[in-house]
């Protein structure tokens, strides 16, 4: 079928459509489907990466141990008045 024949066939169909109605059509569906697929792949990747993260906190005694060592070293850490 040639393009001119397709236009002659589609012209009467176009007159039946409501001129005030706008639809996304096939291109809109394809764009939406591609974006939905991309979001799905990103969520799948994020889930895999979040599974690798270690959420264990450092022990609470570590800051107290460093405070004790700082209290025991003030004489050696103080500058000498020579």
pLDDT in tens, 7-64: 666 566 556 767 778 788 899 999 999 999 999 999 999 999 999 988 787 777 755 5
Residues 6+ apart with CB under 8 A from 32: 24
Residues 6+ apart with CB under 8 A from 11: none
pLDDT at 66: 58
Per-residue pLDDT reduced to its tens digit, 7-16? 666 566 556 7
Identify the residue with better confidence: 68 or 61.
61
The enclosing H or E element of 80 equals none
Q: DSSP state, 24? A: -
């Amino acid at each position: 079928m040639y393009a001119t024949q397709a236009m002659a066939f589609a012209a009467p169909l176009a007159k039946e459509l409501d001129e005030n109605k706008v639809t996304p059509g096939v291109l809109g569906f394809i764009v939406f489907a591609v974006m939905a697929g991309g979001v799905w792949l990103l969520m799948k990747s994020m889930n895999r990466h979040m599974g690798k993260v270690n959420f264990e906190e450092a022990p609470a005694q570590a800051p107290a141990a460093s405070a004790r060592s700082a209290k025991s070293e003030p004489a050696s850490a103080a500058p000498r008045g020579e």
